[in-house]
Amino acid sequence: MPAAYDQYLVPVVFRPFAEDLAARAAALRPRRILELAAGTGTLTSSLLKAAASAEVTATDLNEAMVAFGAARVPDAVWRQADAQSLPFPDGGFDLVVCQFGVMFFPDRHAAFAEVRRVLAPGGRFLLNTWGPLGTHAFGAALQEALERAFPSDPPQFLPTVPHGYSDPAVVSAELTAAGFALEEERELTLEGRAASAADVATGFLTGTPVRAAVEERGDAPTIRATVIEEMTARLGPGPVAAPMTAYVFCATS
């Protein structure tokens, strides 16, 4: 999964937002950065370029992602870590960043409390979340294709997890409840570009938990062909471009 995720989804879906978040991070002039849910190191790499003088520690719960990311971005310090119980001392960082990861935390209250604990006084928490699924043209096309392939029981990973924390008012309220002061909340729409709809479909079907949901339901090669056909019909043949909307938050401890 990490290799497929990195090859097919990172350049199209995640890198544009990583570059944006890294630029915002660099403007804060941090010295010690902690990244949560770092995945294969897309944001990590961008942070090292944008904030070259900062020390970057990248973490992820998934050991396979940590191993892949450490090999891909060796200039960061990599640790396997649970965001709800971070293995770092109080006040050890002046910036914590998380790209499209907070929606995966089973207990966000505990995770946000841990972020506040490891931040120095006045430190910042910089994060982004996806908007509703309908505002992400690639994800919406995939979900529609899955509903065609499985009309009675389509996988619900995309609408319930990555796009299941898409109300900025809820995010802001949970940050405030954890003791943060919200400095900024911004809606951001960027364009993703892919060589083909088939590449995007392959990324979602082999590099995310959608893979397991599809394999549980039947003939994966046939399903993949159906999904590619549907996504190509919706997005077009050849190189494709589509808008993707997210929300960016910056909060102070």
165-200: pLDDT as tens digits: 999 999 999 999 999 999 999 999 999 999 999 999
Residue 220, pLDDT score: 78
Instruction: Residue 253: name the closest of 136, 142, 153, 125 by CA.
Output: 125
- CB-side exposure of 99: number of CA atoms within 13 Å? 27
> Which are the contacts of 109, defined by CB distance < 8 A and separation ≥ 6?
174, 177, 178
Structural domain boundaries of the chain? 2-252
> pTM value?
0.94
Please state which CATH class domain 2-252 belongs to.
alpha beta
What interhelical angle do 15-27 and 42-50 show, nearest 10? Answer: 40
Residue 118, pLDDT score: 98
Residue 63, pLDDT score: 95
77-118: pLDDT as tens digits: 999 999 999 999 999 999 999 999 999 999 999 999 999 999
Calculate the dihedral angle through the C-alpha atoms of 223, 104, 171, 184, rounding to the nearest 10 degrees: -100
- Helices (H) and strands (E) counted in the chain, each on its own, are 11, 7
| Residue whose entry in the numeric block shows the structure tokens 């400095």 | 183
